[in-house]
Amino acid sequence: MNIENLQQLTQFQIDEQPHIIVNKEICRTCDHRACVQSCPANCYTFDEETKLLSVVYETCLECGTCYIICDKGALDWSYPRGGYGVCFRLT
Amino acid sequence: MAKYFDVIIVGAGPAGSLAALKLARAGLNVCMVERGKYPGSKNMFGGLLHNTPVLNEMLPDFWERAPLERHVYKKVLAFMTPESAVSLTFENENFEQPPYNGHTVFRPAFDSWLAAEAVREGALLLGDCTAEDLVRKDGRVAGVTVKGREGQLRGNIVIAADGVLSFMAEKAGLRRDFKVKNMGVGIKLLLGLPEDTINERFHLVRDEGADISFVGTTANMRGGGFLYTNRESISVGMVVHLDSLKASGKAPYDVLDELLQHPQVRKLIKGAVPLEYSAHLIPEGGIKAMPRVYTDGMMVAGDAAGLCYTNGINLEGINLAMTSGVLAAETAMKALEVGDYSARTLSLYKKKLDESFIIKDMKTFKNAVGMMHAERLFQTYPRVLAGILEKLYRVEGMPRSKLLRLARKEALKEVGLKGLVSDGIKIGRALL
């Protein structure tokens, strides 16, 4: 199953303000980067060359897996402003 | 808009909306703050709305009016290995009439409907409002600030029904940091199929529904898979503990894909059209992981209070949520009557929870949390079971063993004596 296709199934109201901010310095030295592998929406990527972690908050399902799994205090994570973010239609 | 309320409820989910309905019916000035565009737009679960007596009591004709998919008639527990499935099916005519034992529902539809029932009775629903912080006055909680529509709402009592991550409970200092082992993540794919096809494949008629639990389909993780039938779609997904997800090094959607590719599952979903993908956390830490549920001016209900339990057979949360919402509302009514919103008065809520089935069940199955962390339950035992059955059924011109000897041999081969004893104790303590 291709995650890129999966995300297209779900509706998002994209806010220009990100609701997740990563501390790239902390992430650079993280020994597990479990966020990258465990995010159900594949929002996180780590660039091995630049050693930078980036997050695509726009397709975040707001489940909170990364928020719980990050034990380095590297995530500034909150719910999006009212009306923004994921918008389930059926589910 | 009146900016001062008797009760402010954060979150128009099942706990919040039923609390609002109760309070509005009592003629109180109540407001629900909902961060989604509509109630349910942020909410997801596997798919089963359990029978909930308080819901039946407050909305006696709910199954005629609520947007329900199917009532669950058939329960299946399936132990899977990559090439086989051992299932136990329970079908019961008593689940065919009101009060039904449970219905599959779509949360955006059901939660919106339930919130609308509260609004019809006079509650105010503020959508597009994310509660950001608590407002304090004289050392007690006295309202919330919101972002989305900027502003502040003040009231005598706040009921935090803001879901599993409950930032409100955190801000009130009611909970400690979450532990990865106490949290499960559920992911789900909704697949469209014609109604007739569903009925034929799952042997259902009219509004009958099936609920299948899969054990052994979560790679090397602790968890399980699920499949629920809706009217014209099926929900397929899985739940895994976050610590074992982290340890596995696997992506959750890849593991879900393995479930979808399983030969027995593939037949059930053949030709289905993917409709929506979703994910949500589940508080699976049991009673020991619960936050404190009240403080001066505030109570916590539903997932926010960690009210959820699983014993491997049942996974209940939505019914606990709605019941806790009503108990919080009853407590709020009492507090408003005497004009005292202190923790002392609101402690009545904890007392009501303790006396209800919610805390009683969570206590009864408090050891199930340990059992659900026994790794072998999710991989090895399905293999043992499938191994026994394969040897029982396979005909190949070789001398056979008696059943007990066969079972003992398979179990010892896979688990070892020490493992069997230790798992036996865990399972015994949890369920027997």
Do B30 and B49 lie in one domain? The reply is yes
Do B265 and B152 lie in one domain? The reply is no
- Where residue B430 falls among pLDDT bands split at 50, 70, 90? confident
Q: Taking CB atoms and an 8 Å cutoff, what residues of chain B touch A65?
A: 185, 242, 245, 279, 281
Question: Which among B283, B315, B330 is the end of a domain?
Answer: B283
Do B258 and B205 lie in one domain? The reply is yes
Q: Could you identify the residue written with the tokens 């004596």?
A: B417
DSSP B377-394: HHHHHHHHHHHHHHHHH-
Do B242 and B352 lie in one domain? The reply is no
Do B234 and B335 lie in one domain? The reply is no
Domain count, chain B: 3
Nearest to B12 by CA among B128, B132, B140, B96: B128
B130 closest CB neighbour out of A9, A79, A88: A79
Q: Which residue of A has its CA nearest to B279?
A: A63
Give domain status of residue B72, yes or no: no
Q: Sketch out chain A's domains with CATH numbers.
A: 18-80 (3.30.70.20)
Do B350 and B398 lie in one domain? The reply is no
For chains A and B, count residue pairs whose Cβ atoms are closer than 8 Å.
134
pLDDT at B149: 77
| Phi, psi at B192, each rounded to 5° | -85, 135
Is A37 in contact with B249 (Cβ distance < 8 A)? yes
Residues 71-90 of A with CB under 8 A from B: 71, 78-90
Contact B331, B340 (CB under 8 A): no
Q: What is the Cα–Cα distance from B95 to B74, expressed in whole angstroms?
A: 9
For chain B, what percent of residues have pLDDT higher than 70?
100
pTM: 0.95
Question: Which among B283, B303, B338 is the end of a domain?
Answer: B283
Is the per-residue pLDDT at B115 higher than 50?
A: yes
Give domain status of residue B76, yes or no: no
- Quickly count: other Cβ atoms within 10 Å of residue A9's Cβ: 16
Do B261 and B308 lie in one domain? The reply is no
* Domain carrying residue B415: 374-431
B165 closest CB neighbour out of A13, A67, A69: A67
- Where residue B3 falls among pLDDT bands split at 50, 70, 90? confident
- Where residue A31 falls among pLDDT bands split at 50, 70, 90? very high
Mean pLDDT taken over chain B: 94
Contact A22, A75 (CB under 8 A): yes
- Where residue A7 falls among pLDDT bands split at 50, 70, 90? confident
First to last CA, chain B: 55
Average pLDDT for residues B249-273, to the nearest whole number?
Answer: 94
Give domain status of residue B422, yes or no: yes
First to last CA, chain A: 18
CA dist B285 to B176, B289, B300, B357, Å? Answer: 13, 5, 17, 18
| A31 at B interface, C-beta within 8 A | no
Question: Which among B283, B311, B328 is the end of a domain?
Answer: B283
Do B36 and B140 lie in one domain? The reply is yes
Contact B91, B23 (CB under 8 A): no
Is the per-residue pLDDT at B280 higher than 70?
A: yes
| Phi, psi at B345, each rounded to 5° | -70, -40
CATH number (domain holding residue B271): 3.30.9.90
A38 closest CB neighbour out of B129, B149, B252: B252
Is the per-residue pLDDT at B148 higher than 80?
A: no
Is A42 in contact with B253 (Cβ distance < 8 A)? yes
H-assigned helices in B121-262: 167-171, 195-202, 242-248, 252-261
Is A82 in contact with B35 (Cβ distance < 8 A)? yes
Q: What is the Cα–Cα distance from B410 to A64, expressed in whole angstroms?
A: 40
Which has more pLDDT, B217 or B6?
B6
Residues 157-176 of B with CB under 8 A from A: 164-165, 167
Q: What is the Cα–Cα distance from B342 to B335, expressed in whole angstroms?
A: 8
pLDDT at A3: 67
Is the per-residue pLDDT at B2 higher than 80?
A: no
Average pLDDT for residues B12-26, to the nearest whole number?
Answer: 98
Do B356 and B261 lie in one domain? The reply is no
H-assigned helices in B165-300: 167-171, 195-202, 242-248, 252-261, 263-269
Contact B160, B299 (CB under 8 A): yes
Do B52 and B152 lie in one domain? The reply is yes
- The crossing angle, in degrees rounded to 10, of helices B14-25 and B318-338 is 30
Which stretch, B344-348, B377-381, B398-402, B425-429, has highest mean pLDDT?
B344-348
Do B9 and B157 lie in one domain? The reply is yes
| A51 at B interface, C-beta within 8 A | no
